[in-house]
Amino acid sequence: MRDVVGRACMAGLVVGVLMTGLGACTGGGESESKPDQGRKTGEPVATACADGTFTWSHLTERDRLTGVSDSERLGRGGGPLRNPMTRVYTPRPSVRADGPAPSPAEVLFSLGKKAGAIDSAARTLAEAGETWPFTDVRQPAPGLDDDRVKPRTAGEYVQYAGVKEVAADFRYSCPGGRTVSGHARNWTVDFTGLTDCAERPDSPLARDVARRSCERAAASSPSGA
């Protein structure tokens, strides 16, 4: 098995992978703040301090399966796969806090730097007007079937899609001593891949693909258990 774009290969699963990174793009983003519903006019609104410090903990990264096709048997020489993918998970950027916190975009910006999705030059670029899809709490989930993989050999194949999801807890500390705790989640890359049902799965994502398509196809076949 080999990775056609240089990503570490998932042994026993990946025949080819296409990835899209959430890098920088130019343009103004929408405000992530929403008005307090039901607040009476004239009431003071608690806001986060502008010069606080983020501290992150419990950072996790994992591949999440977002779509998978039914298995399809191809003869000698392979060929295009016809079965569409069905969505099994919809990734969504998320920010939760237990009190007044910076905007979701600012929280995700800090998470992106912590997770390596936004590089060390990001603050300078941000000041110059750059924005990142990673910081957009309304970032839509990657589509399915946008990149079709074409096997070149015979086998029983399943095409799948996924994202590398990152999540962590944060504390935002203000100079005066006030702190806010919360949790944020987003994804750093999305990818599509191909698995041959004859290969033994050896990762959580590979086992998920096999369980949803390969094992189901084997159970429903005339010779299946």
- Rounded to the nearest 5°, which phi and psi values hold at 214? -65, -50
Please give the pLDDT value at position 3. 31
Region 217-221: mean pLDDT is 58
- Rounded to the nearest 5°, which phi and psi values hold at 46? -70, 135
Residues 91 and 163: beta-carbon distance below 8 Å? yes
- What does the alpha-carbon distance between residue 182 and residue 99 come to, in Å, rounded to a whole number? 8
Rounded to the nearest integer, the mean pLDDT of the chain is 77
Residues 20 and 189: beta-carbon distance below 8 Å? yes
Region 205-219: mean pLDDT is 83
Q: CA Rg, the chain, in Å?
A: 22
- What does the alpha-carbon distance between residue 86 and residue 159 come to, in Å, rounded to a whole number? 10
Strands (E), 25-119: 25-26, 53-69, 72-74, 85-87, 94-97
Q: pLDDT at residue 25 above 80?
A: no
Tokens of 96: 């939760």
- What does the alpha-carbon distance between residue 203 and residue 70 come to, in Å, rounded to a whole number? 19
Q: pLDDT at residue 221 above 70?
A: no
β-strands 85-87, 130-131: how paired? unpaired
Tokens of 209: 């693909």
pLDDT digit string (tens) for 69-119?
A: 999 999 988 888 889 999 999 999 999 999 999 999 999 999 999 998 887
- What does the alpha-carbon distance between residue 4 and residue 15 come to, in Å, rounded to a whole number? 8
Tokens of 199: 């290969």
* pLDDT: which is higher, 37 or 148: 148
Confidence band, pLDDT 50/70/90 cuts, at residue 217: low
Confidence band, pLDDT 50/70/90 cuts, at residue 9: very low
pLDDT digit string (tens) for 111-163?
A: 999 998 887 555 555 554 566 788 999 999 999 977 777 888 999 999 999 99
Region 39-43: mean pLDDT is 47
Residues 75 and 216: beta-carbon distance below 8 Å? no
Q: pLDDT at residue 35 above 50?
A: no
- Provide the 8-state DSSP code for 196: E
Three-state DSSP at 155 gives: strand
Please give the pLDDT value at position 176. 84
Tokens of 222: 């005339």
